[in-house]
């Protein structure tokens, strides 16, 4: 540990009921035992019916863990309010159902040792590794993240001084924490150094049903559309955007073609959408090869997922664009 190692505030969101929250909070125990950090858990959406149960969980962890009950507000505003009340020199952001690594503070010490590094981050991996669908979604997230290894809102640390100087997270941001890069983009646009550590990982229980997987893909579609807008606004490039956009175009064509020509040429109205959907596979060739190499037992599910996922992405992008046009949270 460096002689000038900072103190930490671990800020966890608990804005809605989370089945795996007890496991996530229990992973705080070895970190709090070090005496170098505090944990601040926010309850900010009015979805937690039993705050006393959450307080009881935190009391088991000792005086270093406290609950911050807030009026219903977006996740970005909740993170910012927690940061303002935090006492640590470094703020680490995650979610209450994520499993934190026991060596988290040591890794952050090393990552933030150079004074010119403003943030340190790592990936979110799957916690429920015994579930095939969760493993599949985790493999996809890891593959997609290679395009943009940036701090999101699930595994990222910022120096508190710099975080407050930059205004923190967008207070109107109510989006999924995964691949939520708005703050990282603002730092990049200012030439700040963001450190990525592949071994600095949190583990999150991922959906284990097709419906849950599609719901997460929908949220990620919203985030990716918002990320694209943020990058354009700040004059940054858009890695991976063309491939995702092409998949959404194919999905929209698969819907539009039967509507446009179905009454006049039903054969083409059937065959052309099928061709559009089959073209999704070449666009996902890298992901399919990755699954075939690393998790061959998941290959059949991956082939189906490559057909289903772009529909959820596209719906999320459409919702984000409608939110933007209507002045909403998108």
In 3-state terms, what secondary structure has residue 261? Answer: helix
Q: What is the dihedral of CA 15, 16, 20, 25, to 10 degrees?
A: 30
Q: How far apart are CA 84 and CA 91, in angstroms?
A: 10
| Residue 192 confidence (pLDDT) above 60 | yes
pLDDT at 111 over 70: yes
Please report, for residues 19, 101, 164, 296, 323, the alpha-carbon distance to residue 131 in angstroms, rounded to integers and kept in the order given: 16, 21, 40, 15, 34
Could you give the percent of the chain with pLDDT greater than 70? 92
Q: Report, as an integer, the average pLDDT of 64-91.
A: 90
Q: Is the pLDDT of residue 301 over 90?
A: yes
Confidence tier at 306 by pLDDT (50, 70, 90): very high
Residue 282: what pLDDT? 92
User: pLDDT at residue 30 above 80?
Assistant: yes
Mean residue pLDDT across the chain: 86
Write down the pLDDT at residue 178. Answer: 78
CA distance 211 to 322: 23
Q: What is the CATH class of 8-208?
A: alpha beta
Residue with tokens 């858009």: 238
């Amino acid at each position: 540990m460096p002689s000038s190692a900072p103190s930490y505030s671990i800020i966890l969101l608990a804005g809605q009921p989370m089945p795996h929250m007890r496991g996530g909070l229990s992973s705080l125990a070895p970190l709090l035992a070090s005496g170098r950090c505090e944990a601040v858990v926010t309850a900010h959406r009015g979805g937690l019916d039993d705050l006393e149960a959450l307080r009881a969980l935190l009391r088991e962890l000792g005086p270093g863990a406290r609950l911050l009950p807030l009026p219903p507000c977006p996740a970005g505003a909740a993170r910012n309010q927690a940061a303002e009340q935090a006492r640590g020199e470094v703020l680490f952001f995650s979610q209450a159902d994520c499993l934190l690594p026991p060596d988290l503070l040591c890794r952050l010490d090393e990552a933030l040792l150079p004074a010119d590094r403003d943030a340190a981050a790592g990936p979110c991996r799957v916690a429920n590794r015994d579930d095939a669908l969760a493993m599949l979604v985790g493999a996809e997230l890891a593959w997609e993240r290679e395009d943009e290894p940036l701090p999101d809102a699930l595994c990222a640390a910022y120096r508190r001084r710099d975080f407050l100087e930059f205004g923190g997270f967008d207070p109107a941001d109510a989006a999924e924490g995964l691949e939520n890069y708005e703050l990282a983009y603002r730092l990049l646009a200012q030439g700040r150094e963001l450190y990525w550590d592949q071994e600095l990982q949190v583990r999150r229980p991922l959906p284990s049903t097709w419906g849950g997987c599609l719901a997460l893909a929908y949220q990620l579609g919203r985030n990716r559309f918002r990320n694209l807008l943020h990058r354009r606004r700040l004059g940054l490039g858009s890695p991976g955007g063309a491939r995702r956009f092409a998949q959404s175009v194919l999905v929209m064509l698969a819907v539009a073609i039967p509507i446009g020509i179905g009454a006049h040429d039903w054969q083409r109205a059937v065959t052309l959408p099928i061709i559009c959907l089959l073209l999704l596979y070449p666009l996902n060739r890298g992901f399919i090869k990755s699954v075939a190499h690393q998790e061959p037992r998941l290959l059949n599910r991956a082939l189906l997922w490559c057909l289903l996922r772009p529909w959820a992405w596209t719906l999320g992008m459409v919702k984000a664009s409608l939110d933007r046009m209507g002045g909403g949270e998108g």
